[in-house]
Structures are given as structure tokens and as C-alpha cells.
Structure 1
Amino acid sequence: MLFAADPVIVDGGANKGRTTARFLELFPRARVAAFEPLPELARKLEKRYLGDARVVVQACALGPQAATAELTVLSRRTLSSMLPPTGIHEKYADQDIRQTARVTVPVVRLDAALPQGADIIKLDLQGYELAALQGAVGILPRAALILAETAFYPLYDGQPLFPELREFLAAHGFAFEGLYDPFSDAKGRLASGDALFTANAPGPGR
């Protein structure tokens, strides 16, 4: 799949900025909208990309509607979620993962925060990916590629699983291309992975 030299990219759940950095390596002229709801990580991201006009950091969560909500903060920060953890200890049975705090964070719709749309949307939101996509329906016609973390059994309370994600995106013109970085738990069960979807006919107003 070919992209313009200056694609607009969404990094949802930007964390420490590793994926943003990788995108900028691949597309040096890209413009990245990085969303990170955990305040301490958002501050670090802002500091990391201070002065880099290609990256705009937004300290908020992505969701189906504008609101404020509680983020459950876990001892392993990358597992913090807008949903209460339930099965996360099955996935990481060998780790001591604890809830350390709950913080109130702003939630925005992606199609309101980025009305011009994006060519690439990456979401790593610990069970909140489908909710974020529901808040992005206004800009999905522009997107060519979506990479979303998904689960195959519930890791968080109320988490939609892979079939629901695939069904939603199929209804919006995206085809499932494959699963990357699959993770199996201690029992050998497939727990999660990054699902890649491509647009059947990418382009503005698809």
C-alpha cells in the first residue's frame, strides 16, 4: 500500500512515544496527532516532542462521545485503561499487576478532535479501541489503514473482542489483513494482538 509522503497519522494511546517515533522514521514529513490520557505520560510526550511541529500531543482519551471519565491506572502503566481490569491477570499471570490510582481524564471524539481526518489510525487503548472508533466514524472514509489492538477473551470489564471489532470495521469498508504481535497467556491461549485493517477503496469521501 502506498501513502503520501506527508500522511496524517493518529497515535491513539501514544504512551512514551515509541510508535510515534517509528512513524516519523518511516514518514519523516508525516503529521502525527498523539493522544495519551495518562497525565504523567502526556507531559513526557510533550517534553519529548517540544519544538517538533510534526507532532501534536493531546492529553485526553478517545471515546464515543465528549465527556470526562475515570482512567484506571495500573502498576504497569501501559495496561492502564478506561475499563476496569478483569482478565488482565490471566494474560500476565507471572506478573504482580496492581491498581495504583484512578484519575479523571477528558474524553474526546476523534472526528471532533481531528476533523480533517487521518490516513493511518493506530489504537492501543487497552480494551477501548472500538469505543474510540465509534467516535471516529466521521473521518473513517479518509483512512487507508487502521491498526488496533484487540483481545480474544475479556481482559477488561465490558471489552469488545476481535469479532466485534472486525464486524464494525467491515461495515465501514475495511478488510482484515492479519494479526501482528500475537500474545499467548501461560495456558497457551491467544490473548491479544494488533489487528491490521485496510480500506477497500481508500481516499477522501470513500
Structure 2
Amino acid sequence: MSNLNVETPPARVPKRRRLRQLARALNLPRPMAVVDVGANPINTPSYENLLRVGAGRLVGFEPDPAAFEALQKEAANGDRTYLPYAIGPEGRYVFRAHQINSLSSLFPFRPAAARFMGKMHWIRRRVDEIEMDLHQLDRLEDVPPIDFLKMDAQGAELAILEGGRQKLSKAVAIMPEVAFYRIYDGQPLMRDIDQEMERQGFVLHKILFQKPALLPSSQSKRLHRRRAASQSIDGDAVWIRNMEEPEDLTSDQIKHLALCADSVFESPDLVLMCLDILVARGEVTRKLPSTYVDMLPPEVLADPVAARSDE
């Protein structure tokens, strides 16, 4: 049998190990200040690895008593603090606690939107109206200047941004849930978020996820509820600090953005742009961009042999 000279593909580097090595190479002066508005522990948060490798410290807000109690168990890790505050426009407001927890909002449902998308159960389920005090980020002493902000507040995202301009003045990335279709009366849409983001010096970077609805028809039952669904409702998006003039950003901001781009919203090209800037400033070794690429998964690399090895 002849010996074939076949190059062995490199082993896949786990995401957390890659992030840990990147954070070590960046030599952060302090952990990133991460804030999560709506920290209900339904899913593992996108910033979890930042906390696990010691590159971030979290302040999370969750006004729901049951969810807050569950989060308190996580607080024992020492890398996160949770507060039972509702964030939004400051003052006393009516919160509409929906039987479907993820639909609870400050805003009332639009029956016409529910009919259009075949979601009449949205308005048939029980909704409890609860008066509560809302707080602005800028007025909370427990919140440090923010590096990365995540929001899931069912329509309150715009008010949160407007009430946090001082805390967000040095932030590098913001990831809100955004609405493409108005399902609540008075609900801001993605275009409203984008305008406020531009005013604060951010640009839209990417849309991470879109949730669609299957529109009702005489043939709806014959269609796959997920694959045939076409009407966009909402999703998650990322805005980053405008990078057109990188000299306007400090080296620490560039480092924080690189870490977010790697671990939170998976933009390796943005990571490498940040690393090139840091190399030019003499902040990191010239080998770091190449070393980082060596740790990326094969599917994002140009080498077709490496790409096939992952199939």
C-alpha cells in the first residue's frame, strides 16, 4: 500500500479556549462591563463565555420575581450581579404581564396584528396589568459605564437607549431585540432603534436572528409552520461603535469590541480588523492576527481542504 501525502487538518479549537487565549493576548486592564436588560434565564446568554473566561462582569436586570430568584443562584459565581428593577422610561407605568411570559410588555397588543398573523391566542390569553416603577440606566448608581449592552424588553428598548446615553457613551456594542412588525400599540420598530443608535455613534453591524409568522390562509394546515413562514415579526440585531475613524476609539474600546465580535456575535472579520488596528498601535504582537485565524473553525476559512475536513 502506498503512503499518501495527505495533510492532517488542524484540530478544532473550542470557542471558549479561543476566547481565553484572545483575552490573554489583549491584556485587558479590566473585565468588560456587560449589562443585560431582561436577563430572564430562558436560554444561555450570548455573553456567557465572556464571563466564564474572566473577561466580563455582568449587571443583569430582571423584575419578574420567579426569574430573579432563579438568577440569584448564578450570582454565586461572583462574576455577575442581578437587580430586580424594570428599566425603561423613568416613572410609574402599567406593565402587562402576559400568560405567555415572553410576550409581557409595557405596550398593549394590537388585535389587528394578531388577526393578520393568525395569532389570536395572543389576545385571548390572560394579561395581568401591574403598576411598577421604571428606572433609567443613567440614574442607577449600581450600573458602571457600559461596554456591551444586551436588551430584550418587548418594545422598551428605545426608551432604555434614550435613558442610558451617558452610561453608553463609551460602549462598543449593543444587541437589542428589534421589531420588524408592530404587534403592540406604540411599539418602536427597528428603524426607530437605528435612528437612536446613529445619534449615539453606532452603526448596524448584523442581524442575528429573525422570527417569522406563518400567515393564515385556507391552506395553512398544509404548510410547514416554520419552513413556510414568511412574515417577519422580530429578531436580534447588533450595532457597533462606528469604526470609520478608528482613531476616535481608545485601544481599550478596540479590545472590548474584538472580544464581543469573537464570542458574542461571531464576526471574525471584525475581530481581525480590531487586531490590525492594535498591531499598528503597538498594543499587541504582530503575530496575533495570524494566530487568531489559526484558531478559527474551518468553515470560515478560505482553504477548501480545511473546509471539506469539517463535513
Unaligned runs of 5+ in 2: 1-21, 216-229, 243-247, 254-311
Q: What is the one-letter code of the residue matched to 1:24?
A: E
- 1:103 corresponds in structure 2 to 130
Structure-2 change in CA distance of 1:6 and 1:63 (3 Å)? same
Q: Calculate the aligned-residue CA RMSD, in Å.
A: 2.5
Deviation at 1:126, TM superposition (A): 0.5
TM-aligned CA deviation for residue 104 of structure 1 = 2.5
| CA–CA separation in structure 1 for the residues paired with 2:69 and 2:131 | 16
With over 3 angstroms needed to count, the CA separation of the structure-2 counterparts of 1:91 and 1:37, relative to structure 1, is: farther
Residue 45 of structure 1 aligns to a residue whose secondary structure is helix
Shift of residue 18, structure 1, vs aligned partner: 3.2
Could you tell me which residue of structure 1 aligns to residue 277 of structure 2? none
Which of 64, 81, 91 is equivalent to 2:89?
Answer: 64
- 2:234 matched residue in structure 1: 192
Amino acid paired to 2:101: R
In the TM superposition, what is the alpha-carbon distance from 1:19 to its structure 2 partner? 4.4
Q: Give the gaps of 5 or more residues in structure 1.
A: none
Q: Superposition pairs for residues 80-119 of structure 1, below 5 Å?
A: 80-86=104-110, 89=114, 93=118, 96-97=121-122, 98-113=125-140, 114-119=142-147
Q: Which moves more between the two structures, 25-34 or 88-97?
A: 88-97
Distance in 2, Cα, partners of 1:25 & 1:144: 18
The residue identity in structure 1 corresponding to 2:239 is F
Aligned length: 201
> What is the percent sequence identity of the aligned residues?
26
1:27 to 25, 30, 51: 51
Which has more strand, going by share of residues? 1
CA contact (8 A) 2:107 2:186 kept: yes
Which of structures 1 and 2 has the bigger CA Rg?
Answer: 2
Aligned partners of 1:9, 1:18: CA distance in 2, in Å? 17
SS in structure 2 opposite 1:167? helix
Deviation at residue 156 of structure 1 after TM alignment: 1.3
Take 1:164 and 1:11, find their aligned partners in 2: how far apart are those partners?
A: 20
- Conserved? CA contact 1:141–1:202, under 8 Å: no
Residue in structure 2 matched with residue 54 of structure 1 by the alignment: 79
Alignment partner, residue 42 of structure 1: 68
Match 1:10 to one of 35, 38, 45: 35
1:168 counterpart residue number: 196
Cα deviations across residues 122-176 of structure 1 (Å, max 9, x unaligned)?
0010011001111101112111000011111212110111111101100110000
Post-superposition shift, 1:107?
Answer: 1.0
TM-score by length of 1: 0.85
Deviation, 1:50, is 4.2
**Compared with structure 1, are the counterparts of its residues 60 and 85 closer, same or farther at alpha carbon in structure 2 (3 Å cutoff)?**
farther
Decide whether the 8 Å contact of 1:111 with 1:117 is kept in 2.
no
Please, what TM-score do these two structures have when normalized by structure 2? 0.58
